[in-house]
Structure 1
Amino acid sequence: MSNEELIVLAKKIETGTASSQELLLYISACESFQKQMISLDEIDSEVAELQQAGLKKFWAKQNEEKAKVLPIWWCIAAAAVAALVIFGVSLFYYSKKADDVEQFSNVIPSLAPGKNTATLKLGNGKTIQLSDAKTGLVLGSDDLQYNDGTRVESKSVSEEETSQNKDVETLTASTPRGGTYQVTLSDGTHVWLNADSKLLFPSKFTGNSRIVTLVGEGYFEVAHNKAKPFKVRTAGQELEVLGTHFNVNAYTDELSTRTTLLTGSVKVNNNIVLLPGDQAMLSNGVTRVSRVDVDEVVAWKNGFFVFKGSNLGEVMRQLSRWYNLDVDFAGPVPKRTFNGKVYRNMNLNDVLEVLSFSKVKFKITGRRMTIYP
C-alpha cells in the first residue's frame, strides 16, 4: 500500500465510507507500526503535513458528532487513529531506505488469497471437483451432499454408480495450495482442512473404531461415541479420542508434527494423554508436550494469520500454502521475527505491508518469491 493509498483510506474512515475490510487493514497496519517511533523530522515534510491534516479533520469530525451516538467502528477508529502518522511515515521511510540499496519490493503483485476449493477421489479412482461456491461436503447415508443440502453433481459419477455402490470405500478429500474445505464424515465428525492437505476416510465407519489419515493440517470436532474410538493417523503418529476438539499440523515440509488439544482429551501413540491447552510436538522420533496459545494454533480455521515471534521461514511456509506461492531464499534465511494478526482474505500485498515486509529484501515474479539476505 502506497502513501497515497493510505491517505485515501484515512479519508474513507474520516467520512464513514470505509468498508469493514478496509478498517481492519488500517487497524492491523497501525498496530504493526506503533512500535516504530520514527520522528517526523526524519521523513518527507509533505507526507507529514498530509497526515497531520487528516488527523485534524478526524478530530474536527469527532467534535461535530459528539452529541450523537456514534457507530462502534468510529470508536475503533478513534483508538487506532493515533498511530496514523507513525504508520504512514514509516512506510515512506522504509521505501526511501530501499532506494539506498535495491528496490526489491517496490512492486508487489496483488495475488488473491485462497478460497473454498477441493477435490474428492472415490474408491474407484474417479475424482470429483467440489464446488468452489460451497464450503463443505457432507457424507449422507445414500449420497454426497454439500453442507447447504444440495447434492454433489459430477460428470465423473453417474446416479447409477452412486446408487449401486453401497460397499464401504476409501474416499480422499484434497485441498490444493490456496484452498480450504470442510468435510462432515458419516458419523457426524466435522473436519476443517487447511491449504495443501489431504484426508483419507471411509464412506462409512464399521468395526470397533473410526480411523482416518491426515496429511497436512486439519481441525477436528469429533462426534462422541464411547464404543468406537476415533483415530487420526499421520506420519509417525496415531491419535485416539472419543469425542473432542483438536488441531493436527502434519505438513511434510515442517520440522515437526504438532497436535493441539482444545477440549476433551487425546491419547498420542497410546502413551501420552493431552489436556486442553497441551500440544504434543513430534520431532526426530521424540514427542514433547508443552502448553500453547490455542487461539494462535487454530487462527487459520477462524480466518486469520497470527504470528507471535515467528521467524521468516515459518511465516513464508504459511503464506506460500495460502497464496500458492513458491519461495526461494537466495542465501541464508534473514533473521527476522514477525508479530501480527491479519485476515486471511486479504491480498498478498496487503498482508506483506501489515507484516512490515518493507524491511525484507525480496522480489516477486509471477508466483515465485525470492528473498535476499
Structure 2
Amino acid sequence: MPDHQQRIAYLLARYADKTCSREELDELFSAIGQGDGPEGLEQLLEEIWQARHPAPEIDYEAVYRQIKPAVPVRKTIPLKRIAIAASLLLLAGTAYWLLPSKRTGKQATVLIQPAQRRILPATNKAVLTLSDGTTVPLDSTGKQLIQQGNVAIRQQNGQLLYASQPTDGNIHYNKLTTPRGGQFRLVLPDGTKVWLNSASMLRYPTTFSGKERVVELDGQGYFEIAANAQQPFKVKVRDMEVLVLGTDFDVMAYGDENSVNTTLLTGSILVKEGSTKQLLQPGQQAVIDNQDHQLTVKTADIRKVTAWKNGMFVFNDMALPAILREVARWYDVDIVYKASPGAELYGGGIGRDLQLADVLALLEGNGFNHFGIEGRKVIVLP
C-alpha cells in the first residue's frame, strides 16, 4: 500500500479508536478532500469501513446530507468520496464528532425515565405579537396572510415575509418571539433576512422610515442585511448597538451567558457599548462582558458561531456547562446539577437533529459526568 494510503488508514484507525487529535482530524479531511488524490482512495475507504463496521449498503446521499453543513471539504470533491469519508468518521452513522481533551473510555449510561425517551429537537415555531397586542402562533406548516393596516405579512415554509409597501404614516412595531425548543426565519420589509435561534426575540417596525433601520434583539440572531447606504441598519441589544451598512453577522445576547458576542462574516460593522466603539473586520468578534461591560475583540471561530444556523452544535474547547446551556434552549429542558461538571473541554460537533438522549449519550461517552432525564430536566450526575 502506498505511503499516502497507509497514512489515511492510520488516521482513520486513530479516529475509530478515539485517539485522533484535532490536528490529525484536519489532516484526515484534507487528505480525503484532495480532488487529485489516488484512484484507489474510494476503494480504500470502502475496505476500511467494511473491516471496521460491517453493515448493509450505505445510503451515501443521506449521509452526505447529514454531514454537509459541518464538514470542511471542497465542494469539488466527488459526492461518493465525501459520503464514504463521512460514514467512516461518523462510525455509527450519527452526524457528530467529539474530541475531548480528556478521555475516560467508559460506556454511556444515560438514565432516562421510560416516558422521556423521545425528547425531540427544536422545530420551526414562534409567536408573532402585533402592535395592538394580538398574538399569532407560527409553525413549520402554517400558511396564512396577516393584514396589518396596509402591511401584508405572509407566513410560509417556516418563515415570515413582510411585503414592502408605502407607509400610511403610522409606524407599527411587531415582535417575533421563539420559545425554547423553537426557531424561525423572518424577511423584514427592506429585504433583510433574519434567523432567530431558540429563546430569542426580535422587535422591529413594519416599515422602515427615517434615517435609520432599527431593530431590537434579545437572544441570538443571524442577519443578512439588505444594503442601503442611505439608511444604515442598527441592532440594539440592551445598552449595546451594532451599526451596519450592508453585511452578514451574528449576535448572541442571551441573559444567562457571560457575554454578548457580535461576529462579523462579511462587510463591516461598528459595535458600540457606552462610549466605547469598535469597528470590526470580517472574521472578528466583539465580546462585551455582561459583568463589567468591557469590550474586547478577538478572532472568531466562524464555524462555531454559525453552526446553529446550519443545524449543528459545534464546540471549540468548550466546557460542559456552556454546552448544556445550548442544549437546554434547543430541547426546552432545565439543567439540574447534582454533581460538579468535569473539567474536560470538548471539541467537535453534534447534529442538532438528534434526540436529547442521543446528544447526552455522546457527551457522556466522551466526558466524566453521567446524565439522567426526569420529565423535562437533565440531571448532571457524578
Count of residues paired in the alignment: 302
User: Structure 1 residues 291 and 53 mapped into 2: Cα distance closer, same or farther (>3 Å)?
Assistant: closer
Aligned to 1:204: 207
Task: Give the secondary structure class of the aligned counterpart of 1:301.
Answer: helix
Larger Rg computed on CA atoms: 1
Task: Give the secondary structure class of the aligned counterpart of 2:288.
Answer: strand
Q: Is the 1:197–1:217 contact (alpha carbons within 8 Å) kept by the matching residues of 2?
A: yes
Aligned to 2:18: 34
Which of 300, 305, 308 pairs up with 1:297? 305
Deviation at 1:361, TM superposition (A): 2.1
Deviation at 1:137, TM superposition (A): 9.9
Q: Is the 1:277–1:291 contact (alpha carbons within 8 Å) kept by the matching residues of 2?
A: yes
Residue type of the alignment partner of 1:196: A
User: Structure 1 residues 337 and 120 mapped into 2: Cα distance closer, same or farther (>3 Å)?
Assistant: same
Aligned to 1:145: 154
Q: What is the TM-score of this pair, normalised by structure 2? A: 0.69
Task: Please say if 1:257 is aligned against 2:260.
Answer: yes
Residue type of the alignment partner of 2:186: V
Within-5 A mapping of 1:188-199 = 188-199=191-202
Task: Give the secondary structure class of the aligned counterpart of 2:19.
Answer: coil
Q: Greater relative contact order: 1 or 2 (C-alpha under 8 angstroms, separation 6 or more)?
A: 2
User: Structure 1 residues 139 and 179 mapped into 2: Cα distance closer, same or farther (>3 Å)?
Assistant: farther
Q: Is the 1:32–1:339 contact (alpha carbons within 8 Å) kept by the matching residues of 2?
A: no
Aligned to 1:27: none
Which of 94, 105, 122 pairs up with 1:114? 122
Task: Give the secondary structure class of the aligned counterpart of 1:168.
Answer: coil
Identity %: 33
Cα root mean square deviation, aligned = 3.9
Give, in whole Å, the separation in 2 of the partners of 1:81 and 1:286. Answer: 41
Aligned to 1:267: 270
Residue type of the alignment partner of 2:106: Y
Aligned to 2:373: 364
Task: Give the secondary structure class of the aligned counterpart of 2:270.
Answer: strand
In proportion to residue count, which structure has more strand?
Answer: 2
Residues 50-102 of structure 1, C-alpha deviations (whole Å, 9 max, x = no match): xx99737849999xxxxxx9955763367448899xx9xxx99623xx8xxxx
Which of 55, 59, 66 pairs up with 2:51? 55
Give, in whole Å, the separation in 1 of the partners of 2:83 and 2:347. Answer: 25
Give, in whole Å, the separation in 1 of the partners of 2:308 and 2:357. Answer: 19
Aligned to 1:280: 286
For structure 1, the residue ranges without an aligned partner over 5 or more in a row are 1-29, 38-51, 63-68, 153-163
Q: Is the 1:213–1:234 contact (alpha carbons within 8 Å) kept by the matching residues of 2?
A: yes
Task: Please say if 1:343 is aligned against 2:351.
Answer: yes
Residue type of the alignment partner of 1:369: V
Task: Give the secondary structure class of the aligned counterpart of 1:220.
Answer: strand
Aligned to 2:106: 94
User: Structure 1 residues 299 and 59 mapped into 2: Cα distance closer, same or farther (>3 Å)?
Assistant: closer
Deviation at 1:332, TM superposition (A): 3.3
User: Structure 1 residues 150 and 179 mapped into 2: Cα distance closer, same or farther (>3 Å)?
Assistant: closer
